[in-house]
C-alpha cells in the first residue's frame, strides 16, 4: 500500500514542480495548462494518457478547446503520494 508523502517530502517535492497548486479542501495538486488549439491540447492529453496507463496512475482532468485542467491525487492513499509527483514531473517535462 502506497503511503502519503510526509510533510517534509511534500515541501521538497512540490518545490520542484512547475505551476502546480495545492487544491483547497482536498489533498491533491492541480495544474492549468493552455495550448495553441485543440489539436495541441489533445495531443498533450494523449501523451499523458499513455504515461498514466504505463504507471497505472490516472489523472482527473477537464478539457475545453485549448485548455486542460489536471488534478492529481492517489485514491488508495486518500492523498498525495510519490506517484502524483512522478506523473506531475512527467507533465512538466513535456510542457517545458
Torsion, CA 25, CA 12, CA 87, CA 39, rounded to 10: 80
86 interacts with a second copy by CB under 8 A: no
User: Mask of contacts with a second copy, 50-69, x by CB under 8 A?
Assistant: --xx----xxxxxxxx----
Kindly state the cell numbers that stand for 39: 489539436
49 interacts with a second copy by CB under 8 A: yes
42 interacts with a second copy by CB under 8 A: yes
94 interacts with a second copy by CB under 8 A: no
DSSP 2-60: PPPPPHHHHHHHHHTSSS-EEPTTSS-EEEEEE-SSHHHHHHHHHHHHHHHHHHT---E
Q: Which is nearer to a second copy, 52 or 88 (CB)?
A: 52
Q: Using CA atoms, how far apart are residues 70 and 53, in angstroms rounded to an integer?
A: 16
Q: Which is nearer to a second copy, 8 or 76 (CB)?
A: 76
1 interacts with a second copy by CB under 8 A: no
Residues found near a second copy in the complex (CB under 8 A): 38-39, 42, 45-46, 49, 52-53, 58-65
Amino acid at each position: 500500500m502506497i503511503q502519503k508523502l510526509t510533510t517534509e517530502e511534500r515541501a521538497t517535492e512540490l518545490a520542484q514542480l512547475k505551476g502546480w497548486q495545492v487544491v483547497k479542501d482536498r489533498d491533491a495538486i492541480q495544474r492549468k495548462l493552455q495550448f495553441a488549439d485543440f489539436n495541441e491540447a489533445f495531443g498533450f492529453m494523449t501523451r499523458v494518457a499513455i504515461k498514466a496507463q504505463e504507471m497505472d496512475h490516472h489523472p482527473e482532468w477537464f478539457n475545453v478547446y485549448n485548455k486542460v485542467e489536471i488534478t492529481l491525487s492517489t485514491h488508495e492513499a486518500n492523498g498525495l503520494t510519490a506517484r502524483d509527483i512522478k506523473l506531475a514531473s512527467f507533465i512538466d517535462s513535456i510542457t517545458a
